[in-house]
Amino acid sequence: MNRGAYVLRRLAATLPVMAVVALFLFSLLYLAPGDPAALIAGDNATTEEIACIRASLGLDRGFAARFVDWSGRVLQGDLGQSIFTALPVTTMIAQRIGPTLSLMAVTLLLSVGLAVPLGVLAAWRSGGWVDQLVMAAAVLGFSVPVFVVGYALAWLFAVQLEWLPVQGYAPLAEGLWPWLRHLLLPAVALGGVYVAVIARTTRAAMLEVLRQDYVRTARAKGLAPAPILFIHALKNAAVPIVTVIGIGIALLIGGAVVTESVFVIPGVGRLTVDAIQRRDYPVIQGVVLMFSAVYVLINLGIDLLYTLLDPRIRY
């Protein structure tokens, strides 16, 4: 099968996935306790007024009709309106997305930049001290939750040593260093599990590749270890590593909600936590839907990237 057909088939395969996500999240709002019409009408509304608002919102119709209606609006970029602030959910997300994107970008760069070389070194000197350290750190990374790392780091580097701010956020417009200073501790805390996952996968993939004949050939012709590891081997180990970087984005998204709470960063995660406390279901639904769509699109992009990374792949 040629590349074009594969791309089309892969795109088509994401449609049922997104449909399941949409149906699931719509049911969530459908089943949520509380009557939006009664909330909008206020305390002094009569039963007739509430019924009138319910009819105008289309809440009196059946599940299927409301789902079709809702899906149509979502496809046009309308995620509904917050019960609490009456603002469109998309506006509320747009106001908060900057800090979250910054946090995730810094975490992604730091984690991949640290984890891949560590995994390569661990595989190169398999059984050596780097290897043992990486494997032990990976178990720790899986075991210590994001917010625990966050508080421990903040306590040490911000409260005790006073090197970095304890909490808060500075937009990039205020300068690169203030922005980065506020994001360093959250990014390290958030990246813990992610680094563990990537380093372990890199190590496993590299161990596999380093056993190949062409690596022995490269070594035999007197090539230095660095080019062998980072050019010959890493390139051929790339597919599983890139896959896990993509799948791991889910860890970053989930972790961001918690990290933003610990470091008081005014991002989408804070918005979610506030929405939970106010029982603002449309906001919760909108945030989860947006993040899921982003996650699906990233992994779609990575699947398409494979055909470029490894031309041997045929579908």
11 binds other proteins per the rule CB under 8 A: no
Residue from 17, 94, 105, 133 that binds other proteins (CB under 8 A)?
Answer: 17
Q: Which is nearer to other proteins, 108 or 218 (CB)?
A: 108
- Alpha-carbon distance of 134 to 272, in angstroms, equals 34
Contact positions with other proteins (CB under 8 A) in 124-183: 139-140, 142-148, 151-152, 155, 159, 166
Residue from 25, 74, 108, 121 that binds other proteins (CB under 8 A)?
Answer: 25
Q: Which is nearer to other proteins, 16 or 222 (CB)?
A: 16
Single-letter residue type at 255: G
Q: Which is nearer to other proteins, 104 or 228 (CB)?
A: 104
Using a 10 angstrom Cβ sphere, with 0-12 exposed, 13-18 middle and 19 or more buried, the burial of residue 224 is exposed
296 binds other proteins per the rule CB under 8 A: yes
Give how many residues touch other proteins by CB under 8 A: 54
Q: Which is nearer to other proteins, 124 or 263 (CB)?
A: 263
Residue from 57, 59, 273, 309 that binds other proteins (CB under 8 A)?
Answer: 273
Closest approach of other proteins to the CB of residue 311, in Å: 26
39 binds other proteins per the rule CB under 8 A: no
Residue from 209, 292, 302, 303 that binds other proteins (CB under 8 A)?
Answer: 292
Q: Which is nearer to other proteins, 53 or 197 (CB)?
A: 197
5 binds other proteins per the rule CB under 8 A: no
Q: 3-state secondary structure string, the chain?
A: CCHHHHHHHHHHHHHHHHHHHHHHHHHHHHHCCCCHHHHHHCCCCCHHHHHHHHHHHCCCCCHHHHHHHHHHHHHCCCCCECCCCCCEHHHHHHHHHHHHHHHHHHHHHHHHHHHHHHHHHHHHCCCCHHHHHHHHHHHHHHHCCHHHHHHHHHHHHHHHCCCCCCCCCCCHHHCHHHHHHHHHHHHHHHHHHHHHHHHHHHHHHHHHHHCCHHHHHHHHCCCCHHHHHHHHHHHHCHHHHHHHHHHCHHHHHHHHHHHHHHCCCCCHHHHHHHHHHHCCHHHHHHHHHHHHHHHHHHHHHHHHHHHHHCCCCCC
Residue from 2, 4, 12, 16 that binds other proteins (CB under 8 A)?
Answer: 16
258 binds other proteins per the rule CB under 8 A: yes
Closest approach of other proteins to the CB of residue 125, in Å: 20
Binding site for other proteins (CB under 8 A): 16-21, 23-25, 28, 31-33, 139-140, 142-148, 151-152, 155, 159, 166, 200-201, 204, 249-251, 253-255, 257-258, 261, 272-273, 276-277, 279, 281, 284-285, 287-288, 291-292, 295-296, 299
